Amino acid sequence: MTKTENNDHEKFPLEEENLKNNNKENQKEETVENKLKNTQEKLLRTMAEMENQRRRYEKEKQEAFEFGGFNLAVESVSIIDNIDRAIISFKNDDSLKNNKDLNKIIDGIEIVKKDLFTIFKKNGIEPIECINQKFDPNFHQAMLEVESDTKEPGIVVQEIQKGYMMKNRLLRPSLVGVAKNVEKKGKKEEKK
């Protein structure tokens, strides 16, 4: 071997070694770049998740504030029903009809009822108006059908129990009677 050939052999191994080192450095750089990229993605996901959680928390907090008394309100509407039943009961009781203080008792009960409605109104609890309205299964529960010549079928003609809303949520549906067409007796007999 000549000296130049010998130098070529010596250069080759060095070049190979340099290439290997460069490849290792590139792999390390890619690994560092990949790690950085992965870390950035994780950070972005974590930040997005935290923002979503914050929004959920705010929404739950707002709903808790608005509807925190929802269960109490559901239970309280039955008080109104019982007050109405008490008034009807007193008015229909023969032994109390002749009592001169009956009107005072009923007036006192009416004041309590009025105060309760004031509290309901302050808290966004409103009765559902249903008489002469189109039957809506979201707010009404049909208990019976009433034959009617004057009302269209599907119109609420009787309220059995008053329903209530709290803001935009249903506390209790109205129990109602709904109009239906009057069947003619001749048609009934033909069907039989």
Residue closest to 165 by CA, chosen among 77, 48, 34: 77
Residue 139 amino acid letter? F
Residue closest to 155 by CA, chosen among 134, 128, 127, 124: 134
d(CA 110, CA 87) in angstroms, rounded, equals: 8
Residue 71 amino acid letter? N
The DSSP 8-state label assigned to residue 171 in this structure reads E
pLDDT of residue 15: 64
pLDDT of residue 94: 83
Superfamily of domain 126-192: Head domain of nucleotide exchange factor GrpE (2.30.22.10)
pLDDT in tens, the chain (192 residues): 555 555 544 555 556 666 566 655 555 556 888 888 999 999 999 999 999 999 998 888 887 777 677 888 888 899 999 999 999 998 888 888 788 888 898 999 999 999 999 999 998 899 999 999 999 999 999 999 988 888 888 899 999 999 999 988 899 999 999 998 877 665 555 555
80's enclosing H/E stretch is helix 70-92
Is residue 73 within 8 Å of 166, Cβ to Cβ?
yes
- Residue 97's contacts (CB-CB under 8 Å, 6 or more residues apart) are 91
Each domain of the chain, given as residue ranges in start order, spans: 1-67, 68-123, 126-192
Q: And the tokens for 139?
A: 């707010």
Strand 140-147 relative to strand 169-172, pairing: unpaired
Is residue 180 within 8 Å of 144, Cβ to Cβ?
no
